[in-house]
């Protein structure tokens, strides 16, 4: 059984959004077209409280700087995907009615969550693994935003958990912060993730 995992297709990550990824809107149509090929579709949402510790303004630091958190280094992001705002909803053109599960992550104020499987402490689970195993899923295809952060972390965690994992690169877009895209692609390949063009 295979599943499509659609990562963080939200207005705040698309052009005009608070943390816009170049070309973010361009992948909605390819993702929608992929959905009918899968028996199970999961969509994730970044879902931050207004005082989230990963927000640069909460820390009084410039956006995209880094600070050490109890769980390790953390990029400080512009305020984005705040719970209950339009920017945090799923993209209006995404076929969200096809999602069997919508998983919200990053809702704990003290810890960020790039991966759909674990918080950034690498030990606190989101519950996605249990859901997929209960549905008999063995193979995953990931797509969405952004390739070099939430997609990559999710893909590597999925591979570590024993799933066969592919990333549909044509249905992803990257932030590419200081070369982060190349580093993420190398790390995904090293984890056994297949990158499909």
Long-range contacts of 68-76 (CB under 8 A, 24+ apart): 69/111, 69/112, 69/120, 70/110, 70/121, 71/111, 71/119, 71/120, 71/121, 71/122, 72/120, 72/121, 74/112, 74/120, 75/177
Task: Give yes or no: 143 in active site.
Answer: no
Catalytic residue, from 105, 112, 157, 172: name it.
105
Active-site pick, 81, 143, 150, 172: 150
Q: Determine whether 8 is an active site residue.
A: yes
List of residues 6+ apart from 184 with CB closer than 8 A: 147, 148, 149, 152, 174
Residue 123, burial from CB neighbour count under 10 angstroms (0-12, 13-18, 19+) = exposed
Is 160 one of the annotated active-site residues of the chain?
no
**Residues catalogued as catalytic:** 8, 105, 150
């Amino acid at each position: 059984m295979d599943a499509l995992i659609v990562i963080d297709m939200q207005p705040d990550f698309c052009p005009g959004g608070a943390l816009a990824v170049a070309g973010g809107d361009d992948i909605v149509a390819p993702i929608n077209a992929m959905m009918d090929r899968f028996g199970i579709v999961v969509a994730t949402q970044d879902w931050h409280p207004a005082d989230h510790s990963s927000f640069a303004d909460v820390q009084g630091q410039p956006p995209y700087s880094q600070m050490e958190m109890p769980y390790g280094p953390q990029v400080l992001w512009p305020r984005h995907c705040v719970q209950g705002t339009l920017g945090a909803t799923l993209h209006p053109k995404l076929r969200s009615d096809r999602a069997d599960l919508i998983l919200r992550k990053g809702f704990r104020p003290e810890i960020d969550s790039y991966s759909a499987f674990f918080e950034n402490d690498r030990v606190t689970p989101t519950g996605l693994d249990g859901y997929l195993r209960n549905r008999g899923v063995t193979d995953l295809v990931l797509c969405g935003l952004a390739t070099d952060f939430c997609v990559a972390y999710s893909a590597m965690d999925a591979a570590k958990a024993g799933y066969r994992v592919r990333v549909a690169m044509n249905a992803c877009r990257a932030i590419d912060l200081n070369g982060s895209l190349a580093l993420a692609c190398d790390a995904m390949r090293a984890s056994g993730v297949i990158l499909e063009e």
